[in-house]
A and B are shown apart, each in its own frame.
Chain A
Amino acid sequence: MFIYINQHAIACGSDDTLAKVIRAYCDDHQLHFDEVAVAHNDSLVPRSQWAQQRIVAEQRFSLFSAVAGG
C-alpha cells in the first residue's frame, strides 16, 4: 500500500508503524530522525505516538524540519 509524505508516495507494509516509515524517509532524504516533526490533517502527530501508530493506506502526512530564519 501507499501513504504520502509531503506529496511523495511511499510504499509500505500494512504492519508498518509511523515511526518506521518516518525513519526510512529521513534516511532516504538525509534528514535526522530526531530533528523532524509530523502533521496529519493539519494537526500535530506527537513523536511519542509514532511508535504505536499504525499507518493506513492513502494517509497523507506532512514532515517539517528546522531551517534558518529570523
Chain B
Amino acid sequence: MLTIAGHSFNSNLLTGTGKFASPALMKKAIAGSGSELVTLALKRIEQVQDKDMTLRHLRELGVRLLPNTAGAKTAKEAILAAQLARDMLGTSWLKLEIHPDPRHLLPDPVETLLAAEQLVKDGFVVLPYCPADPTLCLRLQEAGCAAVMPLGSPIGSNQGLQTRDFLRIIVEQSQVPVIVDAGIGAPSHAAEAFEIGADGVLVNTAIATAADPVAMAHAFRLTCEAAAYSKQGKPAQPAAGAQASSPFTTFLEPS
C-alpha cells in the first residue's frame, strides 16, 4: 500500500511509458506490472506524425496519470508544461522534472525547488524528481510536495542505487513518501530501495528495454509485492554471532 496526497495505491511500483518497442507492448507490460500510477510526457507537435497511442492505452488500463515535465530546462518552462498537462489531461498530479544538461540528465535542484513552490501554490500534487540530496528533499517537503523522488543513479543508466547512503538519510528524515526514481535497472535494485526504507520505486527503462518487457514487468511486480509483505513482517534484526535455530546440543544427552 502506498499513500500519496491521501490517495491509496495497492501497488508501490510506479512505471513509465518511454522506450517501449510498441505502444501495445507498453500496455501489456504496464498491465503486468500492477502499477497504478504511470508517467507520460508532453510534446509539441512538430509535424504530421504517427498517432501516439500512449494516452489511449493508459485510459483503457484505468491507471492514474502522472504527466511529467521532461524537456523543461527552467522552472518557468516546467510550470508551463504543468499547466498544459492539467488542461489536457484533467489531472493536477505531476512528476516535476527539470534537467537542463542533456548529457547527464541530472535534475536542477534550484529550478526544481522554485517550480515546486509555485506549483504547490497553484494546486498541483507535485512529485519532484530530484537529486538524492537530503537537504533538498526536506526543502521540497516543506514546500508542500506530496512525495520526493530522489534518483538512484542517472536516468536510464540501470546502475542501481549509487546514492544509497544519501537515500538512507532522506528516508530517515522524510515525512512524505520517498519514491526512488531513475537508475533502477533490476528487481534487486528495487528490493534494496525498499530495504533502505523507500515507500515506492519508479521504473521505466529496466522494463521497457528488457528482452522480454512483460516478463520483467512481472518480476518487478513480484519484487515490489514481496517488499510490501516484508515491511509488514518486519525483518528480524542482525545478531553479532550465531544463534542456534535447533536444539542440537542436547541431541545425545538426557534432558
Contact = CB atoms under 8 A, between A and B. Distances in A.
A47 B41 contact: no
A63 B44 contact: yes
Contact of A66 (B42, B48, B49, B205): B42
Contacts of B80: 39, 42-44
Q: Is the interface of B mostly helix, strand, loop or mixed?
A: mixed
A35 B55 contact: yes
A69 B52 CA distance: 11
Contacts of A36: 45, 88
B41 A66 contact: yes
A35 B88 contact: yes
A63 B135 CA distance: 37
A66 B67 contact: yes
B122 to A, nearest CB: 11
A40 B103 CA distance: 30
Given A47-B88, A70-B155, 6 more contacts: A37-B87, A62-B44, A67-B40, A68-B18, A68-B41, A68-B54
7 contacts: A36-B88, A43-B80, A62-B44, A68-B41, A68-B52, A69-B17, A69-B39
